[in-house]
């Protein structure tokens, strides 16, 4: 039995890297006791903004066995999205690096299904589910428990060797595997992310979503408050500032996933082009992209907000 656990664990870690994943860690599926009060306090403070879905399924978020009955192991995978080069920034607006190419949900879900199918072929019928930001899963908490990094002062998962430019994906399985151990916090006295945030969205280890540029340009459905005029720093979809200034990202290496390469128009457009973009061009450039989440009207709203001058 023990040898089967070892073989199964080794298979997942080896095969996942062959499929392009950056890393793989495994945690025991149980109740996230220490996270319960943290999540409750964060929600009670209204730090989730208008993302009311975060209030739902509270019990499912905290207990893997309720989300996936019979779950014994949570396999957490990292997938690199750091590009070889950024979209030109001179006289230009900015899009978060993760959204340069094809929607990661689609790319990673396909890879996860392949890994799960191959695992079943090797070890028999295993009951489980795959998740890519698609269910009430506390991804960063599970990644931390699986030894893949720690939750930094910018609230993102950080790795000493891999930085933070990666997606998280999970496989909940009803099979016992060899479990990894959590790592330690290595933010130290650094406050680079907090100091760099232009909207003061960050305090140590806590994010106020209401003030986050990523939230304002993606999740918020209403007009972006005028208090952020002059503070958007040209971001029109998402924001990478707290990652750009993080010392651990000096170790980031470019990805090898063709699906994440930006389309040519993204490299050539400049501010005047974005400001005059039509719905047809928007649909063409961002076909299959996460940017379509905002819709054309939301994207135009973001451009107006990013170009707005600060109030006198």
Q: Which are the catalytic amino acids?
A: 133
Q: Beta-strand (E) ranges in 12-151?
A: 23-28, 73-80, 94-95, 128-131, 150-151
Pair 164, 186: CB distance under 8 Å:
no
Find the helix or strand (DSSP H, E) in which 304 lies. Answer: helix 295-307
Q: What residue has token string 């933010």?
A: 187
**Residues 3, 26 contacting (CB under 8 angstroms):** no
Q: What separation in angstroms does the CA of 86 have from each of 24, 78, 97, 244?
A: 27, 21, 7, 12
The phi and psi torsions of 307 (rounded to 5 degrees) equal -90, -5
Q: What is the dihedral of CA 36, 37, 38, 40, to 10 degrees?
A: 90
Q: What is the pairing mode between strands 235-237 and 94-95? A: parallel
């Amino acid at each position: 039995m023990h040898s089967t656990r070892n073989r199964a664990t080794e298979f997942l870690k080896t095969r996942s890297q062959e499929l392009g994943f950056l890393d793989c860690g495994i945690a025991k599926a149980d109740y996230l006791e220490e996270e319960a009060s943290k999540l409750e306090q964060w929600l009670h403070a209204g730090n989730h903004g208008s993302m009311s879905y975060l209030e739902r399924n509270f019990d499912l978020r905290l207990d893997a066995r309720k989300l996936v009955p019979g779950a014994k192991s949570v396999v957490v995978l990292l997938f690199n999205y750091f590009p070889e080069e950024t979209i030109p920034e001179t006289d230009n607006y900015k899009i978060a690096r993760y959204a340069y190419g094809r929607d990661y949900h689609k790319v990673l879900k396909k890879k996860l299904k392949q890994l799960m199918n191959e695992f079943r072929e090797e070890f028999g019928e295993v009951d489980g589910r795959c998740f890519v930001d698609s269910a009430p899963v506390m991804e960063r908490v599970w990644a931390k428990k699986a030894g893949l990094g720690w939750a930094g002062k910018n609230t993102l998962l950080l790795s000493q060797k891999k930085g933070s430019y990666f997606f998280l994906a999970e496989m909940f399985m009803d099979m016992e595997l060899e479990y990894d151990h959590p790592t330690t916090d290595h933010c130290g006295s650094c406050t680079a992310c907090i100091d760099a945030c232009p909207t003061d969205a960050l305090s140590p280890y806590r994010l106020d979503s209401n003030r986050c540029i990523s939230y304002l340009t993606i999740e918020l459905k209403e007009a972006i408050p005028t208090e952020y005029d002059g503070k958007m720093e040209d971001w029109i979809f998402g924001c990478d500032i707290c990652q750009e200034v993080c010392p651990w990202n000096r170790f980031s290496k470019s990805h090898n996933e063709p699906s994440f390469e930006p389309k040519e128009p993204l490299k050539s457009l400049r501010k005047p082009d974005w400001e005059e973009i039509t719905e047809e061009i928007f649909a063409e450039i961002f076909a299959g992209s996460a940017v379509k989440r905002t819709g054309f009207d939301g994207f135009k709203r973001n451009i107006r907000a990013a170009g707005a001058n600060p109030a006198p």
